[in-house]
Amino acid sequence: MLFASVFAALAASVVVSAQGPVIVKVGGDGTTPALTFNPNQITAPNGTVVTFQFTGSPGNHTVTQSTLTDPCNPVAGGFDSGWVGVPANYTGPAPEWNLTVKDDSKPIWFYCKQLNSPKGAHCPAQMVGVINIGNKNFNDFAASASAAKSVGQAEGGLGGAAAAATGPPSAPSSISLVGFATSATAPPSSQSSTPAGSGGNNSTSGGGSGGSGNKGGAVVNVASSAIVFVAALVGMAIVL
């Protein structure tokens, strides 16, 4: 009896404390870039704003909704931040993207779409995360990401399943934003996946074939009306 009420009070306080701002660092920290979301597991009730801060420099990442069973492919109707290209030695405010939790009863799985980087594709390197995992197992999700044969490039929308954003990432004009969602729902798209290098999840081969440019053959049409080139393509090497 006493235990039950103590437990109830504790549970309530956990919910309350989780309602504050939640920050997820994308791509490492400062000049120590990494293929990570940190934290990669978040528990957050309805209404929580999860702020993705693109802190890694250099870095070029997305936050794209997927599923437990297909971690590296976009889920139909899912959210997508689009590409946030942070140059090397960037010292300005971190670009950020706010995602609001709409249904805390369902896990919200996400990954990074980047294929074409010196370190290979990011999702198979386990650049994945989840909000409200419930009784599912993160290791299963991560292992499934490692084994992914393709990394889907289709663009999502602002609104996703169980979570939604209200706009594209917010960033100074020196930051390149490409392919971000401008409408609530994902555009109809036939392109759902593309090969990640030549060796399945071989994350060392992702950017190798295209020389030093950042637009190798593995990148499919990011072209859409949403594309905005804010900065000139100074960034040969800025794709982490």
For residue 127, state whether it binds Cu ion (rule: CB under 5 A). yes
Burial 92-124 (b: 16+ CB within 10 A, else e): eebbbbbbebbebeebbbbbbbbbbbebbbbbb
Residue 136 CA to residue 205 CA, distance in Å, equals 31
Binding track over 197-216 against Cu ion, x by CB under 5 A? --------------------
Q: How far is CA 131 from CA 41, 84, 102, 178, 185, in A?
A: 6, 21, 11, 24, 20
Burial state string for 157-170 with b = 16 or more CB within 10 A and e = fewer than 16: bbbbbbbbbeebbe
Task: Tell me which of Cu ion, ligand NAG, none is bound by residue 189, counting a contact when its beta carbon lies within the kind-specific cut-off of 5 to 8 angstroms.
Answer: none
- Smallest gap, in angstroms, from Cβ of residue 2 to ligand NAG? 25
* Closer to Cu ion by Cβ: residue 25 or 61: 61
Among 24, 52, 61, 99, binds Cu ion (CB under 5 A): 61
Min dist CB 90 to Cu ion, Å, is: 15
**98 interacts with ligand NAG by CB under 6 A:** yes
Integer Cα distance of 38 and 220 in angstroms: 28
Q: Give which of ligand NAG, Cu ion, none residue 221 binds (C-beta under 5 to 8 Å, depending on kind).
A: none
Q: Which of 24, 42, 109, 122 binds Cu ion (CB under 5 A)?
A: 122
Question: Which residue among 79, 83, 109, 110 contacts ligand NAG (CB under 6 A)?
Answer: 83
